[in-house]
Structure 1
């Protein structure tokens, strides 16, 4: 082996004096000299070219450009200096798109071998496997050796040639094989990953992205020569003939994909010229490839690349400035892809040389493009999720927080600011002439006018001090929540200044709105309620502000603050009773279930049944409002009867709900004063073939029990049947030690008032601890309501409380969701 290497380098050294000998540095296999070149003017044989051809180095550069003519290149090698010992060197070529390429090997004037390696020629299967263009040059030790290379075609370039000995040639082939195997495998894996992401996320326009990468793959195969690995010879030749058609389709696909990828931010605008006529540019280019020369097509394609580079970068930056975060990887991806394509075009135009670095530009940029889009798709899916959450919390017309935000997000916000703002005021504004606008101008115009007024109120609120901000996932600043089409609320953090704040809002509402050249004056009502004194939760607060709002009469002004007198207003009470009576009769009330948890191991041991009422006129009515009203009017008996029937029927239909858990059902203390109450409950239970041991009856202490036989009999019968009894909301209202005895209590539920104040109120801590100790002393199960944080839960565990429920653990949920939770 050492002798072969020595001979090879000796052979290289002996060429320094030869006039037409190709000179190559031992450390650099590339031939960097001007190669003697002959321009063919008429058909001629290789022997005639060898003997009669006038080779000139001066026309070498001409041969490397666009030309229809055929050129012959002459590489000369002196005879070897070792007698009776041959030497073989290997000529390698990196450029693979020459249409016709022939090699002729001569010893002296005798033709030894001939090879066809043109892109449009058949190679006759004379290679065991395709590993590039390799021409073995066997040197003679008797005569000089000459290799003639004939090039003809519309594609420019041919050189550089590279020379290797046997060992280096094999190493180079293996190196290229490994390189391209790695490149192809990486491209396929990354593309497969992005296809998988598309299947999961259904990204719009992905078919364009897939098509583009197929085009990139084909282009790589042609430019680098491995197309003969993956395509038949006929397909490979068709691709060469239509190379710029394929490139043009790839550019058009890139254009279309960019439009789809940026569709969500309306870039480019549907009205823009590029959106309307962009496709025409690519159609014109594709037609030009059929009408003009390859050189013209290459020039037009270079212009198309530059156009795409600037337009895609411009679109990407514009989308990013609009808040479309996923576009940062889009920019990264297309920047590298298009730069790689442009640099590859510069090779085609001879501006850049062909070497290992420039060969690698396009495949590496393609890999970076695929990798970047994997991140772009992930970013876009996250943004979709953020947008979906944002849409669920915002009003589509004004982008203000909506009703869902009020009930789902605002409680957490209020809980966080409650320690710093001991009192707040909810201000409800109802624009009451919406129907008039509808009738006068139509619903579309009415919606637009109302939205405009609401936005004006919002702008005024933004300028006002002492108004609570409502943060959204997109970090926008909002101070107004749109509950319904005509109803909005804001929250004052300075209730002592509420009069001045409402006056500023009234100025906006009192300003006429120009609608179809008519100055339209809005009619409105404003109601307010204080938090937490007039509503400890948002349901109650909203309801009381609504009561104040509805109490407004235009003769007395546009604003009314909530008072206890308004709550007891007879007309309101009568309307509520009427609706409740009707809905109970038609069984329109329903129930949710709030899971109860064993605090020691966080396992679900059952759930509390909570009655709910949504009225078509009143909307969602809080149980804290209608249950006391039902007790006052005697509707509580029908309500309890309806609730028991619905719960038992559901439990019968879904036995899994009681397989290892229990259900707690709330009744009123007044129910136990009915003589036949226990019998009715037991009869309903038996009709549904249920076991009483799976149910706990919770009694809300809304009245004082009298020590009478009716209560004792009902309690005794319920216990005998297997029911457990619990006292609900213990510690407030009419709680007394007497009730613990009268009810023969199995469970005691500590009211959430004490639980929610555990962290900040030492008195609440003392009372909770004492109530839990009382339960332990009487062998009663202790249950804590209103657990809102992990800190509260840990305090309860330290006090050895057994059972807990609250928003920190689980929110009330529909029966179906409760079943899913158990599953």
Structure 2
């Protein structure tokens, strides 16, 4: 289609050129001989020049260039041989920028007529209609006829004269009007089309493109002579006076438009010198047009054109190599426009002659530029469509295939490879601490960290054999699909090697990520399912891999393969979540209290509140089963709120429970990441008229609190209100010694894992004793959990542990039994 339009355009242009070259009787109308020329050294009248001027052909060439002097040309015609009949011939000039141009017609020594046709002169409306510079020369049959032409100006004084008889002059004038009409209408139509496409595509740099074509239109009006046809005489003269200022602005607009057009491929780069200081070059040129002569300005503009030519071609080639298809017509357009401008400048400098071909160079190159951009915009429109389809199939932050790709494109891909790979395995990786990152560092940083680790996994997958590639429209190679913000999948074509493949992925995930100068370890779960035996379609395959993924517990490892038993367990968990949601809503959960004892004298100093759940359908459910589910589903916030309300209400109703004892309440680490958590707890406490100094808040997984302002604000408010703070399960999970100080810890609870193994495990003894010594050094209360025998208790006493709890001392009991115990 593009080639047909281009050939049609060339055909029309060729026809116009052909019409423009038709001359009477097949003869050349141009005066190709050296015209007698006189150089004016002082002001002189036309009659004096005719009588006394020393005309010489030798200075004709001199008169065609830049000069501060005025020149006179003399055209002589013999008297006609036809008596009583005058004959008129017509002189035409297709060069329209001579500032002062005067014609004087003499019969003998008598002045018959004179005309002013200079670019800065008023023509006094002595033409019926404007159709260029035409001088009617009426020949006398009695005397010789002489036409004197005086010219003066700052631009080259080119005078390519042509002579026509009456018939051919009229035909030539009509052809000139047709030529102008063609140029104007072609420019307007193509420009209107491009402007429409520009607006439709919302292209950057629209104002620059429109401004550039207005400049081109003005330049063409001057070069081809139709400026007085469409502009007033005053405007036309202003354009001539500021011609190189207009050209300089046009060059600068071209420079700026190129930057905007190529912006999406980042050419030129924001750090390049030409991007930073390119505008200065044009500012310097514009200033020079006001300081130097037209000749100097013309020379500088020629240099500017060459500079633009190489810059635009270089940028265009670079963008094309980056895959920016639309730039091919950008190159086409700017190549023809700048070449046309350079060739037109060569005419200005007399390096190229003025003839019918060179006169058409700039108009044709301008139209080719517009035509080229029409195709460039069409290309860009297609590229937008390709990009739109690509965006629909890819994740914006990683450029990896997305969920849409998985369900819309992957089935076709699997069908094509099924005969060659009858057995595949879908591996699903879920980075499960995204919410922790989100709350600890903010969503922007969390997204960045997750995207970075996903990219690292993808790079590892690219290096692995036996992993399926997922082709995209941009022909990029991808081996990972990002289903959600934290969930990615890859497909193994060698299920028998899946264990080795997963181990390689785990090495990436187990490497700490630096977040705000903190080495952060990711929590993740990996599930896998076989295709087609464990899922004949992608929806079922995804579901089963997800079930396997959710079945992972950190104590059992990070990877689980799908089995039928897991499917049953998953259904059980869904039922568990449904029942838990309902029972929390109806406040059916309750609490027990496990007494805490001063190991030195065995006196009860308080108790730890432990949440319990008995469901009418499920029976008694272990906290180890439902609390992780509550944290995963977000129910933990309601659960904590309900537990605090129940404990404070019970304490208010039974003040004896807190007369000399304290209560410790467990909360989730996620609770402290809520901005108003402390305010809510303090408000509940005040509503029940209780003292905060009688309560200890126990938390776990404290590594997520580092450098988190929300957590520290909550802790500060709780301390200020009088609450004590304990770090629970110290020594396992994500507890950090740094947080003993940073969180102003009052108590440290040694995890029962170490306490229960004290008699059999020397390492547990060493760690437990060191934790107790650490508490003494930091003046923190040491609490041992899981005391199951007298031997363990005595060992803890020997190490000077202060408080203990466990089945050897007291089992968890109902609040009423706890009250009886205190009595």
- Seen in structure 2, the aligned counterparts of structure 1 residues 116 and 558 have a Cα distance that, compared at 3 Å, is same
Q: Is contact 1:480–1:489 with CA below 8 Å preserved after alignment?
A: yes
Bigger mean CA offset, 695-704 vs 289-298: 695-704
Deviation at 1:621, TM superposition (A): 24
Deviation at 1:431, TM superposition (A): 2.8
Structure 1 unaligned spans of 5+: none
Deviation at 1:428, TM superposition (A): 0.8
Deviation at 1:98, TM superposition (A): 0.6
Deviation at 1:542, TM superposition (A): 1.8
Residues matched between the structures, number: 823
String of CA shifts for 1:442-496, please: whole Å, max 9, x gaps: 6555544433332232222223332222121211111101123332110112222
CA distance in 1, matches of 2:791, 2:126: 79
- Seen in structure 2, the aligned counterparts of structure 1 residues 51 and 34 have a Cα distance that, compared at 3 Å, is same
Q: Is contact 1:672–1:711 with CA below 8 Å preserved after alignment?
A: yes
What TM-score comes out, normalization by structure 1 length? 0.66
Deviation at 1:387, TM superposition (A): 1.7
- Seen in structure 2, the aligned counterparts of structure 1 residues 721 and 434 have a Cα distance that, compared at 3 Å, is closer
CA distance in 1, matches of 2:164, 2:279: 48
SS at match of 1:502: helix
Match of 2:360 in 1: 360
Q: How does 1:365-764 map to 2 (within 5 A)?
A: 365-434=365-434, 444-513=444-513, 520-569=520-569, 572-575=572-575, 578=578
Q: Is contact 2:702–2:736 with CA below 8 Å preserved after alignment?
A: no
Match of 2:214 in 1: 214
String of CA shifts for 1:621-658, please: whole Å, max 9, x gaps: 99999999999999999999999999999999999999
Deviation at 1:332, TM superposition (A): 0.8
CA distance in 1, matches of 2:165, 2:788: 79
- Seen in structure 2, the aligned counterparts of structure 1 residues 730 and 378 have a Cα distance that, compared at 3 Å, is farther
- Seen in structure 2, the aligned counterparts of structure 1 residues 272 and 669 have a Cα distance that, compared at 3 Å, is closer
SS at match of 1:726: strand
String of CA shifts for 1:689-717, please: whole Å, max 9, x gaps: 99999999999999999999999999999
Bigger mean CA offset, 783-792 vs 200-209: 783-792
- Seen in structure 2, the aligned counterparts of structure 1 residues 65 and 537 have a Cα distance that, compared at 3 Å, is same
Deviation at 1:360, TM superposition (A): 0.6
Q: Is contact 2:461–2:480 with CA below 8 Å preserved after alignment?
A: yes
Match of 2:4 in 1: 4
String of CA shifts for 1:92-117, please: whole Å, max 9, x gaps: 10100111100111121111111111
String of CA shifts for 1:761-798, please: whole Å, max 9, x gaps: 99999999999999999999999999999999999999
Bigger mean CA offset, 409-418 vs 151-160: 409-418
- Seen in structure 2, the aligned counterparts of structure 1 residues 576 and 158 have a Cα distance that, compared at 3 Å, is farther
- Seen in structure 2, the aligned counterparts of structure 1 residues 469 and 30 have a Cα distance that, compared at 3 Å, is same
Structure 2 unaligned spans of 5+: none
Q: Is contact 1:16–1:23 with CA below 8 Å preserved after alignment?
A: no
Bigger mean CA offset, 486-495 vs 774-783: 774-783
- Seen in structure 2, the aligned counterparts of structure 1 residues 514 and 156 have a Cα distance that, compared at 3 Å, is same
Bigger mean CA offset, 76-85 vs 255-264: 76-85
String of CA shifts for 1:132-161, please: whole Å, max 9, x gaps: 111111222222221110001111032211
Match of 2:114 in 1: 114
Bigger mean CA offset, 25-34 vs 285-294: 25-34
- Seen in structure 2, the aligned counterparts of structure 1 residues 542 and 419 have a Cα distance that, compared at 3 Å, is same
CA distance in 2, matches of 1:109, 1:413: 95
Deviation at 1:26, TM superposition (A): 7.1
Deviation at 1:250, TM superposition (A): 1.1
SS at match of 1:568: helix
CA distance in 2, matches of 1:31, 1:71: 17
Bigger mean CA offset, 699-708 vs 152-161: 699-708
CA distance in 1, matches of 2:83, 2:817: 93
Match of 2:61 in 1: 61
SS at match of 1:696: strand
CA distance in 2, matches of 1:28, 1:793: 123
CA distance in 1, matches of 2:216, 2:428: 60
String of CA shifts for 1:385-439, please: whole Å, max 9, x gaps: 2222222322222211122322333233334434543332110112334456567
CA distance in 1, matches of 2:293, 2:581: 88
Q: Is contact 2:431–2:524 with CA below 8 Å preserved after alignment?
A: yes
- Seen in structure 2, the aligned counterparts of structure 1 residues 375 and 40 have a Cα distance that, compared at 3 Å, is same
Bigger mean CA offset, 459-468 vs 592-601: 592-601
- Seen in structure 2, the aligned counterparts of structure 1 residues 675 and 327 have a Cα distance that, compared at 3 Å, is closer
- Seen in structure 2, the aligned counterparts of structure 1 residues 607 and 435 have a Cα distance that, compared at 3 Å, is closer
Q: Is contact 1:96–1:224 with CA below 8 Å preserved after alignment?
A: yes
Q: Is contact 1:749–1:782 with CA below 8 Å preserved after alignment?
A: yes
Q: Is contact 2:156–2:349 with CA below 8 Å preserved after alignment?
A: yes
String of CA shifts for 1:482-537, please: whole Å, max 9, x gaps: 12333211011222232232233233334455566765544432110112322233
String of CA shifts for 1:348-371, please: whole Å, max 9, x gaps: 111111111111111101111111
CA distance in 2, matches of 1:642, 1:370: 72
SS at match of 1:19: helix
Deviation at 1:757, TM superposition (A): 60
String of CA shifts for 1:315-344, please: whole Å, max 9, x gaps: 111211221111111111111111111111
SS at match of 1:669: coil
Deviation at 1:802, TM superposition (A): 82
CA distance in 1, matches of 2:359, 2:817: 59
Bigger mean CA offset, 542-551 vs 442-451: 442-451
- Seen in structure 2, the aligned counterparts of structure 1 residues 636 and 99 have a Cα distance that, compared at 3 Å, is closer
String of CA shifts for 1:74-126, please: whole Å, max 9, x gaps: 11122233344432221110100111100111121111111111111111212
Aligned Cα root-mean-square deviation (Å): 22.7
Deviation at 1:813, TM superposition (A): 54
Q: Is contact 1:527–1:548 with CA below 8 Å preserved after alignment?
A: yes
String of CA shifts for 1:219-261, please: whole Å, max 9, x gaps: 1111111111101111111111111111111112111211211
- Seen in structure 2, the aligned counterparts of structure 1 residues 688 and 385 have a Cα distance that, compared at 3 Å, is farther
- Seen in structure 2, the aligned counterparts of structure 1 residues 441 and 694 have a Cα distance that, compared at 3 Å, is closer
String of CA shifts for 1:639-678, please: whole Å, max 9, x gaps: 9999999999999999999999999999999999999999
- Seen in structure 2, the aligned counterparts of structure 1 residues 680 and 41 have a Cα distance that, compared at 3 Å, is closer
Q: Is contact 1:21–1:75 with CA below 8 Å preserved after alignment?
A: no
CA distance in 1, matches of 2:790, 2:121: 77
CA distance in 1, matches of 2:406, 2:675: 44
SS at match of 2:660: coil
CA distance in 2, matches of 1:354, 1:816: 113
SS at match of 2:55: coil
CA distance in 2, matches of 1:38, 1:714: 98
Bigger mean CA offset, 785-794 vs 375-384: 785-794
Bigger mean CA offset, 346-355 vs 803-812: 803-812
- Seen in structure 2, the aligned counterparts of structure 1 residues 36 and 255 have a Cα distance that, compared at 3 Å, is same
Q: Is contact 1:340–1:362 with CA below 8 Å preserved after alignment?
A: yes
SS at match of 2:556: coil
Deviation at 1:550, TM superposition (A): 2.1
Q: Is contact 1:15–1:22 with CA below 8 Å preserved after alignment?
A: no
